[in-house]
Amino acid sequence: MFTNLNIFRSIIAILILFIPLYPKFPLDTVTGTYVAIRVDDIVIALSILVWVVYQVKKGFPVLKLKITTLFICYFLAIIASTITAIFVYQTDSPHLLILNTLRRFEYMTIFFITIQAIKSRQDFKYPFIFLLIANLFVYIYAFGQKYLHFPVVSTMNSEFSKGILLQMDVWTRVSSTFAGHYDLAAYLSVVLIIILSLISLIKGNRFLKLVIIFLWFIGFEVLTFTASRISTFAYWGGISLSLFLIRKYLWIIPVSILMIFSLFSSKDLNQRLLATIPQSIRLNLHFPSGSGTRTIPSLTPTPTLPPIVAPISPVIVVPGQKVATPTPTKIPRPTPTSDYLPIDSDVGVARSGEIRFNAEWPRAITAYRKNFLTGTGLGSITLATDNDYLRLLGESGLLGFLTFISIPLFFIIHTIPLIFKKSLTSQNYLSLILFSGLLATLANAIFIDIFEASKTAYSFWIMMGIYYQSLFLKTTSDD
């Protein structure tokens, strides 16, 4: 069964296709939470089982990897956090704390499966091929949602997470096959860096290059559909850095021009960016106010708070029933004249900021202060924090935070010498590209729970497995 390692290459190919494309339909619910057991959990569990059998048969070669110790330290830290949360602080139901801990093991084990799949330089091309195929269908579905009323499968709240088919209204931002537009944006901000940068490694074959560039343009348009500010700028910074490191300096100019053009041409995105600027500054700089727009922000999973605006829910699709065109909801504005005006981007951005700054982030800080060493347990501070670093501190304490951060730091430390290397191999170029993707992910994590969202988390650890082999393949034996 394990005489050659193509089985792991096939597993990773399946995961690269399956993870982004399969909607989050639940198989079974878990008491006390609307996080469900899904088909992807079964597929990942079977993949891990094959990997474990291989490890047992070969005498656990995973222990020989340079980075394994860092993962073991992190796993010990979150186990300590879970034990403390169950027996000392009792911050949540034991089965939920254990489930969230197992989920983290599940996400991160994909890293080691990917390493096992990449055993020769030839193997690097297969993940890229399947990534392009997966992204093509992600793009098709995203355009279908925006223009052809393709249904949405969301996990925004407990009702939607039951697998109900929803239909977007004219104001909702595209999520494609993902559970929300932020997840899709975070995913695209990284894979688009990889796709565009890797074009430079393709020798000859102009037709293939044109096809890939076309796919990149379509993906970039889908990224603008999400109107995610943090992911847009994470992408801009990441692609600029990547092109600089692989010495494609002139490419930075057209890419940046396209980015600037998209900021102005995307109505939703530029209004959200303008709304980010305090109104007093906007008036001084003579920028238009976002409050005149009719853009209604879409909602993401948030804690229960007194609503600032009346939320607009997607419309449930009933076969054979025509869905009426939605109309803007009018709400009383907090002004002396009590005018009734449409919900606007100013309100949406303010609401997003208030939830983070006044509820989610303080809750994570409170959890960290309660037990600064091991935190209050994974999943104990609800499903959304919208800052993965504060979430790490709150849920797993200083031990979990430091041991987790040591993993990306390991990659950064081993990549820095390549930046100053005069002569680069194609494998070195790949390392620098994935380094830029890593930094874009870390930037996204400031405002998005990217390491907890299953689709982005699985994809991230697959990327990191390829990244590891791009750095150390020469010194990795075939076991």
Q: What is the pLDDT of residues 84-104, one digit of tens each?
A: 999 998 888 898 899 999 999
Question: Which H, E and C letters describe the chain, residue by residue?
Answer: CCCCCHHHHHHHHHHHHHHHHCCCCEEEEECCEEEEEEHHHHHHHHHHHHHHHHHHHHCCHHHHCCCHHHHHHHHHHHHHHHHHHHHHHCCCCHHHHHHHHHHHHHHHHHHHHHHHHCCCHHHHHHHHHHHHHHHHHHHHHHHHHHHCCCCECCCCCCCHHHCCCEECCCCCCCCCCCCCHHHHHHHHHHHHHHHHHHHHHCCCCHHHHHHHHHHHHHHHHHHHHHCCHHHHHHHHHHHHHHHHHCCCHHHHHHHHHHHHHHHHHCHHHHHHHHHHCCHHHHHHHCCCCHHHCCCCCCCCCCCCCCCCCCCCCCEECCCCCCCCCCCCCEEECCCCCCCEEECCHHHHHHHHHHHHHHHHHHHHHHHHHHCCCCCCCCCCCCCCCCCHHHHHHHHHHHHHHHHHHHHHHHHHHHHHHHHCCCCCCHHHHHHHHHHHHHHHHHHHCCCCCCCCCHHHHHHHHHHHHHHHHHHHHHHCCCC
Domain extent at residue 56: 6-271+352-475
pLDDT in tens, 357-373: 788 899 999 999 999 99
Would you state the pLDDT for residue 319? 47
Would you state the pLDDT for residue 424? 92
Q: How many CB atoms within 10 Å of residue 369? A: 10
pLDDT score of 393 more than 90: yes
pLDDT score of 264 more than 90: no
pLDDT score of 334 more than 90: no
Residue 284 lies in a domain: no
Residues 50 and 456 sit within 8 Å (Cβ to Cβ): no
Residue 316 lies in a domain: no
Q: What is the largest CA-CA distance in the chain?
A: 77
Residue 270 pLDDT level (bands cut at 50, 70, 90) = low
Regarding predicted confidence, which is higher, 393 or 281? Answer: 393
Regarding predicted confidence, which is higher, 26 or 398? Answer: 398
Would you state the pLDDT for residue 348? 53
Residue 285 lies in a domain: no
Residue position matching structure tokens 């082999």: 469
Residue 220 lies in a domain: yes
Would you state the pLDDT for residue 273? 65
Highest mean pLDDT among 10-14, 289-293, 449-453: 10-14
pTM reported for the whole predicted model? 0.83
Regarding predicted confidence, which is higher, 88 or 336? Answer: 88
Residue 451 lies in a domain: yes
Residue 325 lies in a domain: no
Would you state the pLDDT for residue 290? 47
**Alpha-carbon gap, residue 24 to 454, rounded angstroms:** 10
Look at 55-64, 143-152, 331-340 and tell me which has the smallest mean pLDDT: 331-340
**Alpha-carbon gap, residue 9 to 101, rounded angstroms:** 27
Regarding predicted confidence, which is higher, 134 or 352? Answer: 134
Q: What are φ and ψ of residue 162, in 5° steps?
A: -75, 0
Give the count of domains, the chain.
Answer: 1
Residue 322 lies in a domain: no
Residue 23 pLDDT level (bands cut at 50, 70, 90) = confident
pLDDT in tens, 301-325: 433 343 444 444 444 444 444 444 4
Residue 123 lies in a domain: yes
